[in-house]
Structure 1
Amino acid sequence: MTQNRKKKIGIVIAVLLVLSVVFTGFNRDEKLFQIDKNLDIYYTLIRELNLFYVDDINPTDLVKTSIDKMLESLDPYTNFIPESDMEDFRFMTTGEYAGIGALISKHGDQVIIAEPYEGFPAQKSGLRAGDILLEVAGKSTEKMSTEDVSNLLKGPANQAVKVKIQRPGDKKSFDVEIIREKIQIDAVPYYGMLDNETGYIRLSNFTTNCGDEVNKIFTELKEQKGAKSLILDLRSNPGGLLMEAVKIVNIFVPKGEEVVSTRGKVKQWDKIYTATENPVDTVMPIAVLVNRGSASASEIVAGALQDLDRAVVIGTRTFGKGLVQTTRELSYNAKLKVTTAKYYIPSGRCIQALDYTNRNEDGSVGAVPDSLISEFNTKKGRKVYDGGGIVPDVKIDLDRISSLSIHLIRNFMYFDFATQYTYSNKSIPSPEEFEITDEILSSFSAFLKEKEFTYESETEQLFNELLETAKEEKYYDVAQSQFEALKEKIGHELDKDLEQFEDEVKEMLTDEIVTRYYYQKGAIRSAIKTDKGIEKAKEVLASPATFSAVFTPGTIISMNNTKKPGLESRVSDDVIWYNN
């Protein structure tokens, strides 16, 4: 190549570089102009609304609504946090807040104590599940939302808040002064030995220092209790702090092993998180229980242990939340929680559900089209897939909760019966020994009839809609006998349904009643004895051949049955619990 030709090529490259910089700057300037232009339009729009709209407007509410809708169009996790919500945000990340230590909920027109936490101010002050909150801090709760009452109950630690209480069925009310405390919700509500060899840890969230707590508990189970295997229960764990997930995986994998990585638009923020400490144990058989309520940090732990062939994952496909949020400071003490990256576990797959359109009602992963699924390999060469969430090694089909129980939960029938039961019975046997007898079941049936409880199943609702449509379109008269016969077949009677779903009703009642006497730990202890997910985990761990087969490429293990979803979470569609 001649010197002259080299010179010309150099000039062309230089021109291209200059044009690249110019156009990059142009694109950046154009985008900034568009932002400034639209913000100006937005400002003038709000101003004109404030001046000329027929009714008074609340600018704060209007702007908050527009911000929420704007961010909602991006993804479910990019959120605006105004100063007024900062306390709740801190609780979500630390598990700590100042309050009375109780769950509250709306029961009809009344706000009630749904569950006092053991050892915290509400319980120590004598408040009980079912108590009606008539007043808080001198203000009537009659027309308040649950959130409004929750805000009144929270406040500075070591300061008193006065509440006026009424017990169910009692016309008299009384005042209770409760000293607020810093409430730290335990990330591990229960742990122990299930038998002579199997340890169990229930992790409910990933808050500050939970990794150290799990490390300490696991060491105790292994060295003092003689655990030869472990079940780590992450069902319905919504996640939390990324570093705590890394710490927990580090307990079981060698130092230096990759646990998770994050990748996003700002490349200098991309990071690989590895195990930084010496592990406690790298060989003990481990089973991780998950369900579709297991999200974010839970999926990192389950997915990393699966990719590294360190644990068998048992349950149902997890939630599919693999987006990383970073908080950015805004003016007036507000914050923006913005998605900045995605999680990638050791095999290279992303946890995040790739399709936002196919979701279950609770937001978890729905049907994933084959076109969106890619294949990856674990450390030992097993095939694993992305598309959303973690697919368990041992799949357990979920039993659907009956329409009867759904309506009993929504109408607080289980809850109200348990409240009545506790007033008639000062104590019950231990959580492991307590059972719903035929006498208790008969009392519950009588209670439902006394409350005139009725319900219409989803099938009946759809049938009645069909019936109305058939009458409107003149088809009913043509097939009246068939319609009447079908109505007879799908109709229900309360006594018949209570008998048909007796096992489910007993489980629900047991959970509700045991919680009143032994609180959350007691409810977990009681549920363990009939928990089919735990039973399957114990089966796999008890058989070295079955456990080893899980990590052999090409092997598929499928086991049916699991604990009913109603017992995995005490929250129904129409009931919102608030921590206070």
Structure 2
Amino acid sequence: MIKKYILIAGLFLMAVVGLKAQENNNFKVAKSIEIFSGVMNQLNLNYVDTIHPVQLTRTAIKDMLRGMDPYTIYVPEKDMSDFNLMLSGIYGGIGSMIQKQGDYVVITEPYEGFPAQKAGLKAGDKVIAINGKSAKNLSSLAVSKLLKGDPGSHFQLTIRHFGAAKDTTLNLTREQIKIPNVPYYGIVGGDIGYIRLTQFSPNAANDVRSAFVNLKENHHIKGVILDLRNNGGGLLNEAVKIANIFIKKGQTIVTTKGKLLSNNMVYKTPGPVIDRKILLAILVNGNTASASEIVSGSMQDLDRGVIIGQQTFGKGLVQNTVALPYGGKIKITIAKYYIPSGRCIQAINYFHRGKNGRPVRVPDSLTHTFKTADGRVVRDGGGIKPDIVMKPTVFSQVSADLYAQNYIFDFANEFSLRHKSIAPPTQFRIGDSTFNQFKKFVLNKGFSYKTETGALIKQLKQSAKRENYFKALKPVIDSLSKDLKAEKKQDLDKHKKQIDEMLRVEIATRYYYQKGKTASALINDDEVSKAVAVLNNKSLYESILSGKADRQKKK
């Protein structure tokens, strides 16, 4: 009986202490608001020049939120349309990607089936004017805002087609543009399905389910690859429903824990499973985050699929959006999430910062081990470590510069002017003739690029001059410069395979749009090839999920 009273007294004391702490914090909040209001009033009354209250408030809010995590943000009313686009993937416009090149913004990729493509706009077309107003020197953001508007609204667009000498004015009608959750799905490796999911906006689960059922019914696949690379996440509920495609009803997928009891939630698969036995591989990389990590992490924790690629981003935080006065909103982190094994995969600690005030990455020494459903060891803090770790693709300096300086883009535009059609994207290849044309195109345009080696030679030359060694070292420096120049001349041929692939994908996009782009990119995709190999080897697949393969590595 005495122990019972002690326990009750202890719980009561904890409740009182917690209540007092909350009351103290509430007082500090009220005090801070009063101080801020007082400062603003005094500035308004006494400051020598006219103040801008809205700008001052936004600056204050921005500085205040800088101490939080980067996902807690204030969205003023004027930015709500862009914010809603980010959440829903829907906007009113013409359906095209754009980019600033020189004085003008150019069309880089029209979406198939939308106003830009239907009006004949192609990659490389310059945006000259919108409703008669010159677009020269406007930023991509400014042009984007002018192109967007209410679905059904009309406007005039003056463009200069790539390779044309004169401008053309078009009358366009904006439509509702829905960025697809699943821009591509198809067959790879004969009887393996492939589904690319780029975001978790509304209906993402239905889109994945529809693609999966189509592949099962029409192609009789024996395995499926779900590609979550570069998928930054989205709606948590959609992630749970996607897991439900492969996991039986009633299985806990994710648990959230926050300050408020109302934010402590358990999310279970809500409906009947579509296929709990089909072989499953999930592709991830360093840009796979949030809802994508819930799907990939739950599949790993439940030993339902093989994860292939690179360590994921590590975002284990959940946000909610709350309305504010005057049309603004705050997106605020309300909880951490935990996947089925009980681990939180948050990689960066925003709440306990280093001595320099910056957030710190959770070191391996402070992570903890957990067990999957079949007993495999996994760790928290740091994202999802793939079952099969692959090295990321590293572009050579010459390849990166050819892309960044738009040589790949421009050559694809010229190629499409000369060729009315090409083979289907899975069959189209860059032959030696086309590659030689590209080399000639690049050299005639005066292509040059900087290398780290060149920078070091330049630094050596400057240091030698400063320290009076240049006269003695000049022959060596000149020889190094000459050798580097000769090597750089060979770079196009040395990195032909990589450049060839970049050209093939870019050219395929001109004729087959986003679907063709993805289909072409899959041809030499190492991670897709690895996934196909694993799904075609059932014994290897099962040994990975059982932990047998990992135990054999350690012997």
Is TM (by shorter chain) over 0.5?
yes
Structure 1 residues 554, 71: closer, same or farther in 2, change over 3 A?
farther
Alpha-carbon shift at residue 485 of structure 1 (Å): 5.0
Contact 2:464-2:473 at 8 Å conserved across structures: no
Question: What residue is the counterpart of 1:546 in the other structure?
Answer: 540
State the alpha-carbon separation in 2 of the partners of residues 540 and 218 from structure 1. Answer: 19
Alpha-carbon shift at residue 404 of structure 1 (Å): 0.9
State the alpha-carbon separation in 1 of the partners of residues 349 and 123 from structure 2. Answer: 41
2:89 to 91, 95, 105: 95
1:178 aligns with 2:172: yes
State the alpha-carbon separation in 2 of the partners of residues 44 and 398 from structure 1. Answer: 55
State the alpha-carbon separation in 1 of the partners of residues 548 and 171 from structure 2. Answer: 63
1:279 aligns with 2:273: yes
1:303 aligns with 2:297: yes
Question: Which structure 2 segments of 5+ residues have no match?
Answer: 352-358
1:204 to 177, 182, 198: 198
2:126 to 125, 129, 132: 132
Contact 2:348-2:360 at 8 Å conserved across structures: no
Alpha-carbon shift at residue 348 of structure 1 (Å): 1.1
Contact 2:540-2:549 at 8 Å conserved across structures: no
Amino acid at match of 1:35: S
State the alpha-carbon separation in 1 of the partners of residues 33 and 368 from structure 2. Answer: 41
Contact 2:68-2:350 at 8 Å conserved across structures: no
Alpha-carbon shift at residue 87 of structure 1 (Å): 1.4
The alignment partner of 1:52 has SS state of coil
Per-residue Cα deviation, 1:108-156 (whole angstroms, up to 9, x for no partner): 2210111100000100011111100011133211132111111111101
The alignment partner of 2:108 has SS state of strand
State the alpha-carbon separation in 1 of the partners of residues 15 and 346 from structure 2. Answer: 39
Per-residue Cα deviation, 1:262-294 (whole angstroms, up to 9, x for no partner): 111122211010011010111111000111121
Alpha-carbon shift at residue 295 of structure 1 (Å): 1.3
The alignment partner of 2:549 has SS state of coil
Question: What residue is the counterpart of 1:247 in the other structure?
Answer: 241
Using structure 2 for the length normalisation, give the TM-score. Answer: 0.91
Question: What residue is the counterpart of 1:52 in the other structure?
Answer: 48
2:25 to 28, 47, 50: 28
Contact 2:93-2:151 at 8 Å conserved across structures: yes
Alpha-carbon shift at residue 465 of structure 1 (Å): 3.2
After alignment, is 264-273 or 468-477 more displaced? 468-477
Amino acid at match of 2:48: F
1:340 aligns with 2:334: yes
Amino acid at match of 2:230: S
Alpha-carbon shift at residue 218 of structure 1 (Å): 1.3
1:404 to 395, 398, 409: 398
Question: What residue is the counterpart of 1:235 in the other structure?
Answer: 229
After alignment, is 478-487 or 320-329 more displaced? 478-487
Question: What residue is the counterpart of 1:563 in the other structure?
Answer: none
Give 1:447-526 correspondences, 5 Å limit.
Answer: 447-474=441-468, 476=470, 480=474, 483-491=477-485, 493-526=487-520
Per-residue Cα deviation, 1:18-38 (whole angstroms, up to 9, x for no partner): 974784365135413442244
Give 1:431-450 correspondences, 5 Å limit.
Answer: 431-450=425-444
State the alpha-carbon separation in 2 of the partners of residues 18 and 295 from structure 1. Answer: 37
Q: What percent of counterpart residues are identical?
A: 42
The alignment partner of 1:253 has SS state of coil
Structure 1 residues 17, 457: closer, same or farther in 2, change over 3 A?
closer
Alpha-carbon shift at residue 521 of structure 1 (Å): 0.2
User: Which structure is higher in RCO with an 8 Å CA cutoff and minimum separation 6?
Assistant: 1
1:226 to 207, 220, 224: 220
Per-residue Cα deviation, 1:22-61 (whole angstroms, up to 9, x for no partner): 8436513541344224423552576389x436xx876544
2:104 to 89, 104, 110: 110
State the alpha-carbon separation in 1 of the partners of residues 11 and 183 from structure 2. Answer: 65
Amino acid at match of 1:24: A
Amino acid at match of 1:311: G
Give 1:353-432 correspondences, 5 Å limit.
Answer: 353-355=347-349, 369-432=363-426
Per-residue Cα deviation, 1:548-568 (whole angstroms, up to 9, x for no partner): 111233633999xxxxxxxxx
1:70 to 51, 64, 69: 64
Give the number of equivalent residue pairs: 545
Contact 1:99-1:155 at 8 Å conserved across structures: yes
State the alpha-carbon separation in 1 of the partners of residues 130 and 282 from structure 2. Answer: 42
Alpha-carbon shift at residue 334 of structure 1 (Å): 0.9
State the alpha-carbon separation in 1 of the partners of residues 378 and 145 from structure 2. Answer: 45
Question: What residue is the counterpart of 1:360 in the other structure?
Answer: none
Question: What residue is the counterpart of 1:83 in the other structure?
Answer: 77
1:214 aligns with 2:223: no
State the alpha-carbon separation in 2 of the partners of residues 558 and 536 from structure 1. Answer: 19
Amino acid at match of 1:43: M
State the alpha-carbon separation in 1 of the partners of residues 53 and 128 from structure 2. Answer: 32
Structure 1 residues 65, 406: closer, same or farther in 2, change over 3 A?
farther
Structure 1 residues 76, 352: closer, same or farther in 2, change over 3 A?
same
Amino acid at match of 1:501: H
Over the residues paired in the alignment, what is the CA RMSD in angstroms? 3.0
